[in-house]
Structure 1
Amino acid sequence: MIPVSLTIEGLYSYQKKQTVDFTKLTRAGLFGIFGQVGSGKSSILEAITFALYGETDRLDSRDNRKYNMMNLKSNEMFIEFVFVTGINNNMYMATAKSRRNSKNFDDVKTIERLAYKFEKNDWIPIELNILENVIGLSYENFKRTIIIPQGKFQEFIQLGNKDRTQMLKELFNLGKFELYFKVASIEKKNDENIHTLDGKLQQLGEINPEYIEQQNNLLQIITKQSDDFSKQLGAKQKTETELEQLKLLFDKKLQLQQRKEEKVSKHKDIEKIENTLKKYEYCILNFKNIFDKKEELTNEINKSQKLLDSDKKKLTLTLNNLKDLNNKFEKVKIEYDKKETIQKEIDELSKISKIIKLEFDCSEISVRLKKGEKISAQNLQIINDIKVEQKTLTEQLKTLKTQMPDLTELYKIKEWHTQNNNLFNALLEVEKEIKIIENDKLQVQEQYNNLCNSNNLLKNFKFDSYRIENIAKTINFLTTKIEENKEKILLIENELEHLNVQSKLEQYTKSINAGEPCPLCGSLEHPKILDIQNVSISLKNSRNSKNKIEKENTEIENSINSLNNISQKLLFKQEELNKNFTKKTDAFAKIEHHKTLFKWEVSDTFEVIENKFKLAEKLKVEIEIIEKTIEKNSKEIEKETKNKEKYKETLDKLNQELTNNKSVIELLKSQIEILKVNDFLNSDIEQLKNEINNKQNFIKKTIENFNLLNKQIAESQNICNNLTGKIGANKTILVNEKEKSEQINNKINEQLKNSSYNIEEIKNILLQEIDIDKEKLNVNNFKQAVLEIENQLKPITIEINNRVYVAESHNLLKAEILNLINNIKQLNQDFGKIKNEINKLNDDLLKIKILQKEGKSLSERAEDIKILKNLFKGSGFVNFVSTVYLQNLCNNANERFYKLTKQKLSLEITEENSFQVRDFMNDGKTRNIKTLSGGQTFQAALSLALALADNVQKIISSNHNFFFLDEGFGTLDKDSLNIVFDTLKLLQKENRIVGVISHVEDMKEEIESNLQIINNEELGSLIKPSWE
């Protein structure tokens, strides 16, 4: 991942919007972000991690993070981080923003995080979790490998074994090797399969092939019996079918005869129904309609009479109510006529109330005018006093400025002296370093002398001048000696081989006895037995010689390794010495050149210059105090002048308001006619308001009663008129309905004279409610059914002819057929049962063979799974793989750490997966990594972190080498800081992009491309690039 740009607004100390253009910083390779403690340097890294992951080390969600992250002078927080990553350099953007509630300062809205990918010249929204996938790191591991916050730099070294293994597991996806539980699950499943298979075999049991053959023979017998029974069944079923048809004919003939007898018994009822229908049809035709009209008119007459009685009653009540309303109206009208006089009194009372209020205001204004005139006089005195003081201060300021020295020149002289001291100090440091290196060189030479003294072979190889060529001669001598010893060992091994053969033959000769066969040739005769003596002594001497030479070779090889180490150290120390001699020459040249830069006539010492600076600072403070006092007085004069104008304007307004009030009082008094003003001058305004409200309420209530009674009288009069008209109309309708009823009665009497029925008989007939069409249909259906029965009987009688049906014979035949069917069915069941049994036995026999084969396979698999389970048990395989990764990481880190420490130190992994250091300055012995100095610890941590970052970049297929370090370095001494500077410069040469955050000013001088963070009290943190 390579950053492109970062925009911050309203985050922590960043009040205004600030943008960092990382393209110019990363182009330099090594860049820095510098500023005082608390200026907002670390907030830049925190903004990046929060935009990417929504997490910060400083605050979590329980700390009311959304409120505390936002600057207290800002109403909005905004972060925008753009970066590129991956093989194709895809560009992504992460944003985070939030707003403060304008109505509640403490209420900050939820921080909204969004992610985008740049495609086709546009930002396309993507899911937030995609950011972590493209970066390839979790939040915790991102802080350990790419952007490392304060206090986290040395974390990888300081982590415990378990935590370091867990970190490697996450970074390199070693969880894929955590296979114990998967294997255990597979084992469990395999065991379950074995148990299931055993259960299946037990269920199947043992199967006898001879029993299967017996059952096949039984099937053939059953098949033959079934065929015989089927032939007999066919003949009997044919006879039974003929008898069944004859039985049906006899049954049908009997049914028809029974139905015919039933119809004959109902003939009289049908005739009675026909007579009733004739009577009912006559009455319906001649009397139904006229009887219905008479009943309808009777109902209408009763209804009209009831309505007429009700309206008469309502009319009487309404007339009585109208009389009462008219009486009330006359009383209200008398009060209604007085409302104009009362309204005029209300208006005059309101004016009297205003007069009382205005006279009270006039009294208040007079008091305010007296106070205001007094304050205005005091204001004029203050202005005059300040002006006198201003004149005195201006004269003092002029005198002090003439005494002020030229600070620009003083600064230049002081800077020359400071640089001159720095150059002399640098020369002293180089000379000190030369002495240290020469001392180290003497120690290496002493190591060489000690080695030569302790080795007899090297006593003749001590030299007065410790040149690398002399040590190389010694190494060549020792190498030649090793080769000579190897040749000697080869000769001794040949001799040992010969002596071993002789020893074996000696054993055979001892076992030869007269008359017994030889163990080698089998001969019974042994004329010349080999005489071998002292073989074991020779073997022992040869072996001792070989061991002695091999031990000497081992000692020589150790000496060669030590000599190589000494040679490398001498070479390295000589190179360092040459470099420092060059630095010393350069330092002398810089001092001489610096002397030529002193161009001032004064010859003051550094102490005199410092005293002049102190005097200038004192004068500067006095001048600033006087200038601030003058500025303060000017503001005070301006303020009092504005007060003077404000007082005058207020007094003018009060005088004008007093005059206006008096004019209004006179005008209001002239408008009052009914009431006397003097009668109310001592009255309270609230009492007048109450009297006005009472009179207004009286007028309002009188008008409401007048209007309400007027409306009620009109409504009652309308109701009376409507009821009178309605009663007249209903009387006319009632007379007409009674005349029509009389006419219908006459018509009914005329028709009864021509009928054979009286009126009661007719009413009873009509009450029957007979369905004429239905009853006629029933009569016709009866006659038709009788005819159909007679027509059906004729063909059946002809078909039966003279045949006779005997039920007993028929039932006997059926029993025989049923018996045959049951026999056949039983045979078929036996056949199916036996057939199924044979098929099942054959299937089970096949299953047993398959299951036995599967069981063998599962047993073999169980043994393999057991081996794998032991391999993966207790995360053993993961720990093994993490150890391999850690060792590779250590090897990669050593390539840099060994160079950074100038071949003095290297990192190693212990058996417990902890770090230790091999110290080549102390015979290559190991020691705890915690014994390293501050600078060495930085080098070790940086080497490991860079190696870790390299591996991570390979995993996520990134071609970018970016590393950001937020480490103050304030606790390091000067030597350790120099180590840090040299280390960072080496990284720059490796084409790496490294960012450093620090408050140490010396680092700023070493890193040209940088950002300066300044915390302004008014504007918050501001970012100032070095190129602007």
Structure 2
Amino acid sequence: MRPIKLTLQAFGSYGKKTVIDFTKPNQNLFLVTGDTGSGKTTIFDAIVFALYGEACSMNNKKDGAELQSHFIDLNTKPCVTLEFSEFQGGEDLIYTVTRVPRHVRPFKRGEGFKDEKETVSLIMPDGSEFSQNTKETDEKLSEIVGLTKGQFMQVAMIAQGEFMELLRADSNKKKEIFRKLFGTETYQNIVDVLNKRCKEKRTAITNLKTVCQTEVAHITIPENRENSERLIELKDDILKADNINFFSIEELLKELKILCNELCNEKEILSKEYSQKSKLRDEKRDEHNNAATLLGFFEQLEKAKKDIIECQNKENEMADKALLVKNINDAYEVEAVYKLFDSASKTLKVKQIELNDINEQLPYLKRNAQNAEVNEKEAKKFKEIQDEHYAKLEVEIKKELEIYQQINILKEEIEGKKEELLKAQNAAEDIEKVIKEFDENVKEWQEKSNELKDVNVALERWKNDKKEEEILEKELSEIKILHRTITDLNETAKLKEKEFLIANKNYTQKRDEYENKQMIYYASQAGILASKLIEGEPCPVCGSTNHPSPCKLNDMNKDITQDILEILSKEVDDLNKIREEKSGDSKRTIDRLESDEKLFNDKINKLFDRMRNSIKTVKVPFLPSIDGAIECLIDWEAINKAEGKKIQNDLETLSKLEKSLSSAENKKEELNKQFKEAQNRKIAVNTEFEKSNATLLNLEKNKKYKSEEVAKDKLANAKETKEYNDATYEAALLNLKKAQPEYDKCKALKEQYEKEIPKLITELEEKELSYKKILEERNITESEWKDIKKKHFKNEVDSLNKTIDEYNNKKATANGIKETALKNINNRKKPDLEKLLTEKEEAQKRFDDVKEKLESIKNIYQVDMESYDKLASKVEESGKIVKEYTKLDSLYNRLSGKVSGARMDIETFVQRYYLKRILNSANIRFEDMSAGQFELRMVDEEKAGEGKNKGLDLIVYSNITGKERAVNTLSGGESFMAALSLALGMADQIQENTSSINLDIMFIDEGFGSLDDHSRNQAVKVLKNMAGGSKLIGIISHVSELKQEIEDKLLVSKNEEGSHVRWDIS
């Protein structure tokens, strides 16, 4: 893959359409140079975005709206077009990819903004478009390039500050990177599968343990049982154990089997005894129950005899009650017949009295009816005469009143027309004023609108400031976090230094002690040799036969032995290791502190540079500091907030003005129309006013009465006379209607009563005869039944009958019980129930004791046998599972690096093969750049698994000192050379392992500023050698010396319209 042409529009800092032709440089190595923030890195962002849909930085990923340029209006669509070639089948195929990021654009109509989705178009070598589906196109691009974005960033686009991460990353971090680059995830999958299977087996074993312990807990051991101590001990051990011991379970099963056999024998013995005790219990129970039944019959007989005696004593009383019941019933039957007789007598008397009253009233009612008829005829005749006179007068006066009503209406109309005419005149004048004021308002709106025409530009500028403000605040937040880290590291460095001093002191003291005792020990050995010397015989040390001053042995030195010295030597070695560890910890902390302080200074200087470029309304402090940055950003934020509020108000005002101006013409037409209508209305109202005055004069001439009141008074008097005559006639008519019906009603009642009274006399005679007959039948006089009724109520009969029935029932029941009891007793003696109860209870107790023992033995036997069967099956199952788990666990621990002293996993072991080949290629460049001083190496395989996985950790071998050291001890320039060499070596290895990759591109962003002249020259030389082939290499850097060493340059500049580029070709 090799870029040919890159086109940017409204992308990042590039506003207007910008074309970069990568075929223009005469050499394959070129320099991208320009001021900070001018847009150099954006070029590389655009290439990566075109291919993968994201900007190149892995730490600060950008996509979508973040990439839309603020240096051009939002109507311009942001897009990146990359034309590149790919060598396939012996020829270069040209592809063109155009990607539009997610962005916003103004609505085509109206106000507001619309979100637009990301789109991508890939034009194939034959000119056809691959697909309009974004996902499919992205996959096709990755297929053409042959690398994922992560691989591309490691090989082709080495982003600013990120290409050293791989150099300093620990083995676990490198493992993740190499996994993606070289596809070694299969080995991790093997470890994951083994881990999963181990967990499954562990779970199975845990479940077996739970099941076994549950079943063991169910085992019941009878109390105070001989030879059960071992079984109890095994049960307790298994229940308390954290891990299952199947040997203990097997032993427990043997003991449990013995117990179950014993319980089975006991169960059979108790079952026989149970049958005997059950039979005896049933016999005693039946004897007691039969005796209780017989005793009940004796008690029933005695009670029946008592009841019979009581009934004999009440026999006369019951006879009296029965007679009283009869008398009460007779009295109330006679009373019912008497009431019918008495009612008939009273009805006859009432009718006779009413007939006499009617005969007295009838002559008076007849005369009154005749007089009322005469009066009604006379009143009716006079009323008809008066009604005719009133009708004529009413018609005449109504016509007169209508004239007066018309006159009054016209007068009101004329007054209304006057007011309406005045209103019409005022309305026309008011509308004329409104038109004049409206013309003035329109003129003012146009002036104000012209003043606010640039508010949208101000809004875009304000948005850019707000985004810049957010970026600055984010950078400041990161700096504050870094500052806190530095503060913590300072404290940690002091603590580490203190720990080192203590460790050094401990080591020195122990070393001095060891050396002192070692000298004493050597002296004691010399004393021992001296004590064995014989004068004239050679010394085993010096060979002299003359011994003038032999060493004397001191008793105090005998306590120091070789073993003690070895122990002290080991303690000295251990303390020395601790001292070296503390020294290393202290140095690493100080190195990190220095690194973070340098990073802090770089970040805060860059922040203040950016603030000076971005903030124009607030003075940025000369000396960089966190407090100064916070104060400056707070002031800028306040100014931006006030500015934003003002812009928002101006936008609202402008919107209202544009809306008012857009409707001004229609409003003016409407006002003119209203003015014309007001003029026409005034003319029409004036015409109606004059017409109403003429009609009023004509009506005044046609009046007959002096006034409306005179006419009304005359009609009122006539109406009074008419109403009086009407009332007189109505009274006469009412009197007639009342008198005649009264007479007719009275006459009809007389005829009715004369017919009814003979019938009532006959009915009374019949009722009297019935009354006398029932007195005779019941053999009772009137005074007797009235006396009985007075003393006794009718419902008393029910109570008396109930008492009599109860007496008869009690008597019959007692005789029946007596007869039944005598029959059941059958001349037998009364039994001794207490004695029989005692015998029954004793038999029941003996039965219950045996039953309880039997049920207990049965339950224990059943539970223990079930536990035995389940445990026996689980022990057999567990053997297979434990065997499988042991194999899997051993294999998993070995392949995953869980074994002590062998912490390197299988994937790391495989990746060391790739890393070795990467280092072979990288060291060719590293030795050139460092003038043969350094060489990158892996940690030895023997040490790679000690403590933790260090299989992919890198060390640096110095050809000058012949020693190895950690890569983090390299200086900034040395680190850059090592990281660049590693990146180039990785690119070689990836391309070598992937035959389909033809990557003829590499861009490096910054890093050369940390190199001295020689190292920089060597690095450029290596890159030139690479560029001598077909690979296109671009370098971003501020280092001025590179401008002389690299002839082809892409110059990037930035002004208020955004970024611009031009080639400076050698």
TM-score, normalisation: structure 2? 0.33
